[in-house]
């Protein structure tokens, strides 16, 4: 169905574009995944590889997604059919994107639910006097369920749906513009407290110390997957948001600003968490529970801790909510534009799917959960959703997007769109971008894939 005549909403200014996109990038990835993965894979060396992945893979793919989105003004699948015709196989990048969006949303909504429940408990003051033992039992109590995690997941979806139903301008734009600055302030407050704890220096050392011994193939693939996950790439979220960008937006500039600010938030989250972890002699490689056990424990023992605890989980709830809206917007835009389903109905339908399937994640997050014993390819539902999307589908779609923009659209078209019809003087930047997206990004992605699957051993005897 051709929907060229449907009036489309969009963001109203460059500022709105920046905050909305940053709202998508900043999320549980910064505050939950980044610290626990950096902790698990040994600190600084992992951080270094992650930064390289952001610069040479994340940034160029982000620019490409913006190009695909804004030049077509379409959703994740419609954008490819607009560029290449309805029969083109390239649209399957969009389909794969929507599939990974769902996989991510299933576990993301679950973790967001834990965060909401922690924010709520922090407000009620239920972490006072907590010890290492009770911190752990509180966490497992909150996630095993069966009912509380699902109820909180429903609360998350209700909030996200309300924002999305309000629309692109009145919902996404307005909310991210208010909440992103609030998040920055709150995280800085938490940092100041954490960095003034005795022993905080050990935490800093951990974050910036280079220990290459733990940089295995899995660690490198994980850093790559994290870069995609962090910048919301490889599944059409940035194509969809790009389609709402103003025509005068400098998209390369926006990509750089968003990537920088997002990395800053990750570092600020690390600076709030690791000093606290070390100052209380806890385990930095504690895994997914790091945030949920360490932070309440540490903050409940320091002056002003209970206020900070509220601040910390409120800021994490903000991050999770703004990222979640960008995830749900992907299928919502697809359903409304390609299938003609009205926006509100589309939002409610998607929320229902997410709650239904997401409960599989919610009920398998811990070994003691009802579905926690079920293994598919050796993984629980929760881990399966996370691993398949972040570590396989996102980088794979990223590779295809790089090849697509590098070889299958005219360089002049890309240049025209990125320079806003020649209005922005970008100098050599476009050529640099073009070189990276054509050769460097695909090569890096391929090497990491081959390395990970063990094919390099067979092919090159490495
Ligand atoms: N970037 C978000 C985070 O770090 C998660 C996210 C939102 C995402 N939209 C996405 C990840 C699209 C991959 C694709 O938490």
3-state secondary structure string, 242-263?
HCCCCCCCCHHHHHHHHHHHHH
Evaluate the omega torsion of the peptide bond into residue 346 and state whether it is cis, within 30 degrees of 0: no
* Tokens encoding 137: 């039992």
Residue 44: alpha-carbon gap to chain centroid: 21
Ligand 1 nearest-atom number relative to CA 320: 15
C-alpha closest to that of 343 among 75, 44, 120: 75
Mean pLDDT on 131-137? 81
Domain that holds residue 451: 10-459
Q: Concatenated DSSP letters for 211-229?
A: -GGG--HHHHHHHHHHHHH
- The b/e string for 281-303 (b: 16+ C-beta within 10 A; e otherwise) is ebebebebbbbbbbbbbbbbbbe
Distance from the CA of 198 to the center of ligand 1, in angstroms?
34
Q: Which residue's alpha carbon is at the smallest distance from atom 8 of ligand 1? A: 232
* Tokens encoding 366: 């811990």
What are residue 376's DSSP bridge partners? 379
Distance from the CA of 188 to the center of ligand 1, in angstroms?
22
pLDDT at 457: 61
Q: Which residue's alpha carbon is at the smallest distance from atom 10 of ligand 1? A: 232
Q: Please report whether residue 2 resides in a domain.
A: no
pLDDT in tens, 60-87: 999 999 999 999 999 999 999 999 999 9
Distance from the CA of 20 to the center of ligand 1, in angstroms?
12
pLDDT in tens, 300-315: 888 788 888 999 899 9
Ligand 1 nearest-atom number relative to CA 237: 12
pLDDT at 199: 82
Q: Please report whether residue 367 resides in a domain.
A: yes
Ligand 1 nearest-atom number relative to CA 235: 14
By most ligand atoms within 8 Å of CB, the mutation choice from 34, 96, 229, 230 for ligand 1 is: 229
Q: Please report whether residue 371 resides in a domain.
A: yes
pLDDT at 366: 75
> pTM of the full predicted structure?
0.91
Considering only residues 194 and 2, tell me which one the structure prediction assigns the higher pLDDT: 194
Q: Please report whether residue 1 resides in a domain.
A: no
Helix (H) or strand (E) holding 39, with range, is helix 34-40
pLDDT above 80: residue 287: no
Please give the tally of structural domains in the chain: 1
Q: Please report whether residue 3 resides in a domain.
A: no
Ligand 1 nearest-atom number relative to CA 24: 7
List residues near ligand 1 (CB under 6 A).
Answer: 24-25, 27-30, 104, 229-230, 232, 235, 237, 323, 326-327
d(CA 36, CA 226): 11
pLDDT at 2: 41
d(CA 451, CA 216): 10
- The helix/strand/coil state of 9 is coil
The C-alpha torsion from 252 through 258 and 259 to 265, rounded to 10°, is 170
Mean pLDDT on 170-198? 90
Q: Please report whether residue 277 resides in a domain.
A: yes
pLDDT in tens, 222-242: 898 899 889 999 989 999 999
Evaluate the omega torsion of the peptide bond into residue 251 and state whether it is cis, within 30 degrees of 0: no
Contact status, residue 310 vs residue 63, Cβ threshold 8 Å = no
pLDDT above 70: residue 459: no
Distance from the CA of 118 to the center of ligand 1, in angstroms?
21
Contact status, residue 375 vs residue 356, Cβ threshold 8 Å = no
The count of C-alpha atoms lying within 13 angstroms of the C-alpha of 213, restricted to the half-sphere facing its C-beta, is: 2
Q: Which residue's alpha carbon is at the smallest distance from atom 6 of ligand 1? A: 232
The count of C-alpha atoms lying within 13 angstroms of the C-alpha of 202, restricted to the half-sphere facing its C-beta, is: 13
Q: Please report whether residue 5 resides in a domain.
A: no
pLDDT at 5: 46
Considering only residues 327 and 457, tell me which one the structure prediction assigns the higher pLDDT: 327
Ligand 1 nearest-atom number relative to CA 327: 9
Q: Please report whether residue 211 resides in a domain.
A: yes
- The helix/strand/coil state of 53 is helix
Contact status, residue 97 vs residue 330, Cβ threshold 8 Å = yes
Residue 38: alpha-carbon gap to chain centroid: 16
Mean pLDDT estimate for the chain? 89
**Residue that has been written with the tokens 């504690």 in this structure:** 286
Ligand 1 nearest-atom number relative to CA 234: 14
pLDDT at 363: 84
- The helix/strand/coil state of 379 is strand
- The helix/strand/coil state of 407 is helix
pLDDT above 90: residue 342: yes
pLDDT at 197: 84
d(CA 86, CA 354): 28
* Tokens encoding 420: 């806003």
By most ligand atoms within 8 Å of CB, the mutation choice from 110, 230, 395, 398 for ligand 1 is: 230
pLDDT at 409: 94
Ligand 1 nearest-atom number relative to CA 228: 13
* Tokens encoding 236: 């059409």
Q: Which residue's alpha carbon is at the smallest distance from atom 12 of ligand 1? A: 232
CATH number of residue 47's parent domain: 1.10.4160
């Amino acid at each position: 169905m051709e929907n060229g005549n449907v009036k489309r909403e969009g963001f109203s200014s460059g500022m709105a574009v920046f905050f909305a996109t940053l709202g998508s990038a900043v999320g549980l990835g910064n505050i939950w995944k980044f610290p626990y993965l950096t902790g698990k894979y040994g600190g600084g060396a992992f951080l270094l590889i992650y930064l390289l992945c952001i610069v040479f893979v994340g940034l160029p793919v982000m620019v490409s997604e913006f190009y695909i989105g804004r030049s077509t003004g379409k959703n994740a699948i419609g954008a490819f059919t607009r560029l290449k015709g309805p029969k083109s196989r390239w649209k399957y990048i969009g389909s794969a994107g929507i599939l990974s969006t769902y996989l991510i949303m299933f576990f993301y909504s679950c973790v967001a639910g834990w965060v909401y429940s922690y924010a709520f408990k922090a407000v009620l003051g239920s972490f006072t006097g907590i010890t290492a033992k009770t911190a752990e039992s509180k966490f497992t109590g909150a996630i095993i369920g069966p009912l509380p995690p699902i109820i909180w997941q429903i609360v998350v979806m209700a909030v996200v749906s309300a924002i999305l139903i309000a629309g692109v301008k009145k919902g996404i734009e307005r909310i991210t513009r208010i909440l992103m600055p609030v998040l920055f302030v709150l995280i800085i407050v938490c940092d100041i407290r954490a960095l003034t704890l005795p022993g905080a220096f050990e935490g800093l050392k951990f974050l910036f110390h280079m220990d290459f011994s733990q940089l295995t193939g899995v660690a490198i693939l994980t850093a790559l997957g994290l870069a995609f996950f962090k910048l919301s790439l490889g599944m059409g979220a940035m194509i969809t948001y790009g389609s709402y960008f103003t025509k005068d937006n400098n998209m390369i500039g926006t990509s750089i600003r968003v990537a920088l600010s997002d990395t800053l938030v990750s570092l600020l989250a690390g600076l709030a968490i690791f000093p606290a972890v070390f100052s209380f002699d806890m385990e930095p490689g504690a895994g997914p529970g790091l945030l949920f056990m360490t932070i309440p424990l540490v903050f409940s023992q320091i002056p002003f801790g209970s206020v900070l605890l509220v601040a910390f989980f409120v800021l994490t709830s903000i991050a999770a909510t703004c990222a979640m809206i960008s995830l749900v917007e992907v299928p919502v835009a697809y359903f409304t534009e390609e299938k003609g389903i009205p926006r509100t109905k589309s939002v409610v339908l998607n929320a229902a799917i997410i709650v239904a399937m997401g409960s599989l994640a919610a009920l398998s997050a811990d070994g003691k959960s009802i579905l926690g014993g079920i293994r598919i390819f050796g993984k629980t539902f929760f881990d399966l959703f996370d691993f398949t999307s972040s570590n396989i589908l996102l980088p794979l779609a990223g590779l295809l997007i790089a090849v697509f923009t590098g070889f299958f659209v005219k360089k002049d078209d890309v240049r025209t769109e990125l320079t806003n019809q020649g209005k922005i003087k970008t100098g050599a930047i476009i050529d640099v971008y073009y070189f990276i997206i054509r050769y460097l990004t695909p090569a890096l992605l391929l090497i990491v894939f081959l390395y990970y699957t063990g094919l390099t051993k067979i092919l090159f005897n490495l």
